[in-house]
Amino acid sequence: MASTLTPPPEHLGITHWSSRLLADALGISHNTVARVWREHDLKPWRTETFKFSTDPQLEAKVRDVVGLYLDPPDKAVVLCLDETSQIQALERTQPIRPLGPGRPERHTHDDIRHGTTTLFAALEVATGRVTDQCYRRHRHGELPAFLKLVAQAYPRRELHVVVDNYATHKHPKVQAWLAHHPRVQLHFTPTYASWLNLVETFFAIATRQALRRGDFSSVAELAAAIGRFVDAWNQRCQPFRWVKDADQILASLKRQPFSGTDHQQRHRHGTATPG
């Protein structure tokens, strides 16, 4: 039956099919279409993206980063650092109407945009603690300033910092700063492998819990809200535990390309969650 579920030529311009639409094109019951889809585990309403990593140092970088998570250097601190830019200070045009019995929270579709900020964050893997700072701009000058802040938070400690391959992280000014601060070492994830950087999990949590439904009348108010969230996070934070070793992850990468969302990647390849 599955081989017969091919739409006639006059319907080939359609790229998104429902069971009813396909049934109408084929002149059969939509229940029949749905049954065949179930039998063959076909889900045409779902789609994912995929990206291959062409990093020539893929294996070395995976082993380096995962090695830091599973077997950190003695007396050193392992941190995951990244920045998320263009966080908008959005103010609703009308006050949010809170939820009530049988009624969801409601807010207007339109909003007033008051500008953006960039959040830099460094997550300590062993504790889950986050060092944060918001900057108006997102250039190569902000990273050395933030690295200085992180270094001050961990005085006289060797710091191993996991970052991605963003060009700013390799800028000559950043390299010059690192040369003068040898106790801080950067470790790069492979290209298209942001799921290896555990701070991405924190960004996802912060977006969901503090930003997505926020109402901010200025960038300063947005930055203050982020600061309050991070302070509360640090009061209840827990270690981030990595699950799979490098061999298991590399075997998984060979079986399939990077696809889906970062959350799906973290689950699929065995990265850690708080606790």
Same domain, 33 and 70: no
Q: Which residues contact 222 (CB under 8 A, 6 or more apart)?
A: 87, 88, 89, 114, 117, 134, 214, 216
Q: Whose CA is closest to 104, among 115, 96, 93, 92? A: 96
pLDDT of residue 119: 93
Report long-range pairs for 202-211 (Cβ below 8 Å, ≥24 apart): 202/121, 202/123, 202/130, 202/233, 203/82, 203/84, 203/119, 203/121, 204/262, 204/263, 206/119, 206/230, 206/233, 211/87
Q: What dihedral angle (degrees, nearest 10) is formed by the CA atoms of 200, 201, 202, 207?
A: 90
Instruction: Please calculate the CA angle 208-86-131 and round it to the nearest 5 degrees.
Output: 65
Distance separating alpha carbons of residues 262 and 266, to the nearest angstrom? 6
- The predicted-structure confidence for 142-192, as pLDDT tens digits, reads as follows 899 999 999 999 999 999 999 988 878 888 899 999 999 999 999 999 988
- The predicted-structure confidence for 129-151, as pLDDT tens digits, reads as follows 999 999 987 777 789 999 999 99
Which span out of 12-21, 79-88, 229-238, 244-253 was modeled with the highest average pLDDT?
A: 229-238
pLDDT of residue 2: 45
Same domain, 90 and 190: yes
Same domain, 138 and 252: yes
pLDDT of residue 160: 97
pLDDT of residue 10: 61
Same domain, 151 and 261: yes
Same domain, 137 and 229: yes
Domain total of the chain? 2
Distance separating alpha carbons of residues 241 and 184, to the nearest angstrom? 22
The 3-state DSSP class for residue 144 equals helix
The 3-state DSSP class for residue 7 equals coil
Same domain, 33 and 125: no
pLDDT of residue 56: 79
Same domain, 91 and 187: yes
Name the residue range of residue 20's domain: 2-39
Total Cβ atoms within 10 A of residue 86: 8
Distances (CA, A) of 151 to 77, 156, 158: 11, 8, 9
Distance separating alpha carbons of residues 159 and 17, to the nearest angstrom? 52
Which is more confident, 140 or 230? 230
Which is more confident, 95 or 5? 95
Q: Where residue 268 falls among pLDDT bands split at 50, 70, 90?
A: very low
Angle between helices 199-206 and 219-236 (to 10 degrees): 120
User: Is a pLDDT exceeding 90 seen at residue 69?
Assistant: yes
Same domain, 201 and 80: yes
Same domain, 223 and 165: yes
User: The tokens 């981030």 sit on which residue?
Assistant: 240
User: Is a pLDDT exceeding 60 seen at residue 261?
Assistant: no
